[in-house]
Amino acid sequence: MKSDLELMEEFKRGDRNAFHKLIRRHHVAVLNFFYPLCGMPEFSEELTQDVFLRIFNDLDPRTEVSLWKIHRNEATHPTSRFSTYLMRTAYLCWSEYLRHNGSPVRALVPAGQASAGLATTDSYALLAPVAEELKPVMVLAEIGGFSYAEIGVILHLPPNMVRHRMKEGYAQLQASVHARAAGAKKTAAAGVSGPETGTSGSAAAQPGS
């Protein structure tokens, strides 16, 4: 199987199928970077498409200021160069969306996942208690499987800051677990069974298509 860099070189030589192979290989990874951040599969798809189109334009030889040209000198590990470059592009895409739209997108936590706590299988519901600026670090580490050094390259953060944000994110999740356990105890003691409350209480409109 050809590596990502080989496929890139083939695409630069004019083989469009090489780019489609790259898309098939990394489509799910990019999609699952966006979904825990925004919570909407359709919108994540749109952002994923934007990422691949940006990369397509970025790899064009006529592009003078290419992110890839900058990134290939920053990435420390040759094997992770394309994946970190891809996630760097995805992160820039997400940052741009936040910059243009102000507050981050908040979707409703799916019913049934809200009260499941750590048992939920929905990444957005699980990361809902975490602050927005900490989420990309946690998503890249736990769902993307990147090391702290690679996350630093992707987010342009020093290693100590990556470590600090990971610690803060885990602390917030731990606090929410404790709060949930305390609430469950109170409910059990009162013997009252009320409606379920989601971890992300606020609901916002879906972003414009």
Q: Which residues bind another protein (CB under 8 A)?
A: 13-14, 16, 19-20, 23, 27-28, 31-32, 35-36, 41, 44-45, 48-49, 52-53, 56-57, 60-62, 118-123, 126-127, 138, 141-143, 147-148, 163, 166-167, 170-171, 173-174, 177
CB of 114 to another protein, least distance (A): 14
Nearer CB in complex with another protein: 111/192: 111
The string of DSSP letters for 90-126 reads HHHHHHHHHHHHSSPP-PPPPTTTGGGGGG---HHHH
Nearer CB in complex with another protein: 40/75: 40
Tokens found for residue 77? 């590990």
CB of 61 to another protein, least distance (A): 8
Nearer CB in complex with another protein: 57/187: 57
Distance (Å, whole) CA 170 – CA 36: 15
Angle 159-190/148-155 helices, nearest 10 degrees?
A: 100
Task: Using the Cα atoms of residue 29, residue 33, residue 34 and residue 35 in order, give the sign of their dihedral.
Answer: positive
